[in-house]
Amino acid sequence: MSLSIGCTLMCEQSPPSSLVKYAQAAEQAGFPFAVMSDHFNPWLDEQGHSPNAWVTLGAVANATQTLELMTYVTCPIGRYHPTVVAQQAATLGVLSEGRFSLGLGAGENLNEHVIGEGWDPVNVRHERFTEALQIISELLDGGYVNFVGDHYRVDSAKLWDLPEQRVPIGVAVSGPQSIEVAAPWADFMIAVEPNGDAVKSFDEAVQTNTPARKVGQLPISWDADRDKSVARAHEQFRWFAGGWKVNAELPGPSAFDAATQFVRPEDVADQIACGNDIDALVEAVRPFADAGFTDLALLQIGDDGQDQFFEAAPEILAALQGEFGA
């Protein structure tokens, strides 16, 4: 199975105008798709940004012609009501002329606590997520939707502007429970770890004749100066060392700073490809290809590293396409 290589427009590290510029650079460099994070807060104060993803994606859709777009990921159980997510997705599907896919996940405390309703335990979050998926899916199908669940109620809702092709729904999964909850409503899978067992379980859960799309993400710190790339990765991405179960629970940037105070630059460099070694990057990508992923979004760490990354993008893409056949 070939692996398509895209890139990440990371809201936590760049202002909105720059994200639009990077989307244009990605399209020009030959990336077929770009994913965008949907946050209210950055992970760390050093990242320094967090514009509204949906407004920015609207601008990106207008500024690009061929680049496929995707939220990676939107949480529809807290600061957004599921009906609002469905309306945003349908509108972006229209504005992008069918280039948008909706990536959904059960969220993080970091972004969802801001509405003042607390942070539910994981089993309740999964219940809410299941109801939200049903509501969004039915709205994107068209027609009026009425829904009464344990967590949400929808009264006579309808999306009046739908794209010609239904917006595909992807769901972020991390283990058997999330796959069981989300897969029946999903068109494709999203995961940040190259877990072959999850890929197999997801295909079994969606019960399709052909394997579903699997979209992963890989942070890198590309720079001709390796020491600088390691320092940047440590400053901006040391939160990554916590793992998803921890990262979903911490409430704000100060908590992530405290939780990672003993993470060393060399610890980050052990987890993230730093520098400009193409062979090292190929080996960092390989586990996703081996696990059965179909798409992988590279995430260049740091706003100040984007220009150098996009300058090198044709070389990076050529090497990865040559190795993984995308």
Nearest to 219 by CA among 230, 208, 227: 230
Distance (Å) of CA 152 to CA 75, 89, 129, 131, 227 = 15, 19, 10, 7, 50
End-to-end CA distance of the chain: 9
Q: Is residue 283 flagged as an active site residue? A: no
Distance (Å, whole) CA 65 – CA 97: 9
Cα-based torsion angle of the residue sequence 84, 217, 1, 24 in order, rounded to the nearest 10 degrees: 70
323 in catalytic set: no
> Ramachandran region of residue 169, left (φ > 0), alpha (ψ -120 to 50) or beta?
beta
Place of tokens 């069981």: 180
- 3-state SS assignment for residue 97: coil
Omega before 73 within 30 of 0, i.e. cis: yes
What is the C-alpha to C-alpha distance for residues 6 and 177, in angstroms, rounded to an integer? 28
Q: Which of 76, 40, 13, 50 is nearest to 240 (CA)?
A: 13
Distance in angstroms (rounded) separating the CA atoms of residues 48 and 42: 7
Which of 12, 27, 68, 108 is flagged as catalytic?
108
Q: Write the single-letter amino acid at 205.
A: A
Q: Is the dihedral of CA 223, 228, 232, 233 positive or negative?
A: positive
205: left (phi over 0), alpha (psi -120 to 50) or beta: alpha
Say if residues 92 and 103 touch (Cβ distance below 8 Å): no
Identity of the amino acid at 275: G
Q: Which residues are catalytic?
A: 39, 108
